[in-house]
Amino acid sequence: MVLKGWRALGASFLAGALAALAMPPLFWFPLAVLGVVVFVWQWDTAPNLRGALLRGWAWGLGHFAVGSYWIVEAFYVPPAEYGPLGVPIVAGLAVVLGFFPGIAAMAAHWLARRWPHMGGRYRRLLLLAVCWTITEWLRGHVFTGYPWNPLGHVWAFYVPLLQSASLFGVYGLGLFTFVVLASPIAGWRAFAAALVVTGAALAAGEFVMRGQPVAADAPLVRIVQPNIAQAIKAQPGSRPGQLGKLISLSQRPGFDRVTVVVWPETAVPYLVEPHSDLLGVLAAAVPPHGYLFTGAQRGTENEADGVWNSLVAIDGDGHIVAHYDKVHLVPMGEYIPFHKELPPVSGLVGRGSFEVGDGPKTVSLPGVPPFSPFICYEAIFPGAITQPGHRPSWLLNVTNDAWFGLSTGPYQHLTSARLRAVEEGLPLIRSANTGVSAVVDAYGRILASLDMEQEGIIDHPLPPPRSATPYSRWGDWTLLGVVLLFAGIVVVNQPQSRRSMA
């Protein structure tokens, strides 16, 4: 069956939208198979380059509109001054993002026409998978990048199937995922081979996950989840109560046995500056012989320097002993492009801008294994959360997903953070304002968590790291190796055949 015109675009849009429901937290996996199969079918029956581009774009439009709908929630947090802009902005984002699968379809269509003796359905499928993977990688890098919900996330419901990300990252996992999901359209042999590959990946994942137990002398970490709604956080009169709540939760029984207390992103409702009296107040949340790690807006004694979205480490004397400044800021949310060069533009939008940090860093403090902090949105960027040449022992993620309510967004955000743990082979401590806070081991397993809109604490020993993974050593070079391997299979020894997948 061949669809044409608006029917083809409509089928592509619907398939992309349904495929988004296979992402966390729903995991309706059969819809991922359906969505990718329809994508391949529509590509294979496209009449020309323009048709391939439009069908791929329509698929992406549906997929990213459903997958990123949660952004609208942030526009309606009181006072919701920009509420009417929420839907148009998310729709516009989906329109732009849709071009990435569209370009993949167009490029694969052009290459298939250029190589008319492609060798039938199997090689054509691999060709499309390679183009898909390249454009998914580009989506994570072009225009500062937006690698939300890469295809490999559909396996997050079963951790052993995520382990190949430690070899070639989530984009490489997405390459294999595309081939597996699309295999039914390439015939029963391809489908059977996909099942064998999936089974082998599962068995290998189970094998490597025989991790070492937590050491008896591992530092005890206390994660604080205050569950303070974003509308309340914005009220100046509520600030003393917010701070009191954070300190009270931190001092719950067992406080004297804790090494590190972790608060979420921008948990401190005041500007944190050196030598401020506020630091003495925060010292009340520092455990004996330990530290408070908290998200905060950090300033300096010189107001002209600006303000950073930071993680600060505070000791028992109320001193800032280390800090990390967020590097990958959210465009239009945390910074206005060219806000210094074009001040009137920043004023027109009506928001200030955070300053950009220096880069990923490994923080070392006495009594605590070295760690790499990253803040909120930074969790979605593979290979960009640790300092090159300074491998840490664990990852620390602080975030404030209160902006997005009970949508799918916070759960998908957590999945991204878990994939960073798998890729790097490092345990993850995650503190979120309204959830989901979690302790994740070096294989991406959730060992303890607090769900959305729950107030409380998690006390847990710091899990051990794995040995350095291939991806943590070489990053996306491992992905390039896999892409070149698949591309080589496509172009080498092509049989003289013009079989179609249809």
How far is it, in rounded angstroms, from Cα 494 to Cα 191?
A: 21
From the candidates 376, 378, 423, 424, give the one annotated as an active-site residue. Answer: 376
- What is the mean pLDDT of the segment spanning 147-159? 97
Catalytic residue selected from 326, 361, 378, 423: 326
Q: Do residues 438 and 428 lie in contact, with contact meaning Cβ atoms separated by under 8 Å?
A: yes
pTM: 0.93
Residue 208 has pLDDT above 80, yes or no: yes
Q: Which of 73, 131, 136, 265 is catalytic?
A: 265
**Sequence-separated (6 or more) residues with CB below 8 Å from residue 492:** none
SS3 132: helix
Percent of the chain topping pLDDT 90: 82
**pLDDT higher for 412 or 4?**
412
For residue 238, is pLDDT > 90? yes
- Encode pLDDT of 116-141 as tens digits: 666 678 888 999 999 999 999 999 99
Concerning whether 4 is annotated as a catalytic residue, the answer is no
Mean pLDDT, residues 34-61: 97
Q: Mean pLDDT in the chain? A: 93
Q: Are 398 and 311 in contact (CB under 8 A)?
A: yes
**Using CA atoms, how far apart are residues 164 and 103, in angstroms rounded to an integer?**
26
Asked if 24 contacts 415 with a C-beta cutoff of 8 angstroms, the reply is: yes
End-to-end CA distance of the chain: 9
Fold entry, domain 220-465: Nitrilase/N-carbamoyl-D-aminoacid amidohydrolase (3.60.110)
The answer to whether the beta carbons of residues 245 and 262 sit under 8 Å apart is no
According to CATH, where is 3.60.110.10 located in the chain?
220-465
pLDDT (tens digit, 9 = 90+) per residue, 459-479?
A: 999 999 999 999 999 999 999
Work out the pLDDT band at 292, boundaries 50, 70, 90: very high
Rg (C-alpha) for the chain, rounded Å, is 24
341 is catalytic: no
Q: What CA–CA distance (Å, rounded) separates 42 from 128? A: 12
pLDDT of residue 352: 62
| 265 counts as catalytic | yes
- Helix 49-67 and helix 5-20, axial crossing angle in degrees, nearest 10: 30
**HEC states along 405-460?**
CCCCHHHHHHHHHHHHHHHHCCCEEEEECCCCEEEECCCCCEEEEECCCCCEEEEE
Cis peptide before 464 (omega within 30 of 0): no
Using the CB atoms, write b or e for 257-286: b if 16+ within 10 Å. ebbbbbbbbbbbbbebbeebebbebbbbbb
Q: What is the pLDDT of residue 348?
A: 42
What's the rounded Cα separation, in Å, for the pair 272 and 467?
A: 37
pLDDT tens digits for range 243-266: 999 999 999 999 999 999 999 999
**Alpha carbons 380 and 413: distance in angstroms, whole number:** 7
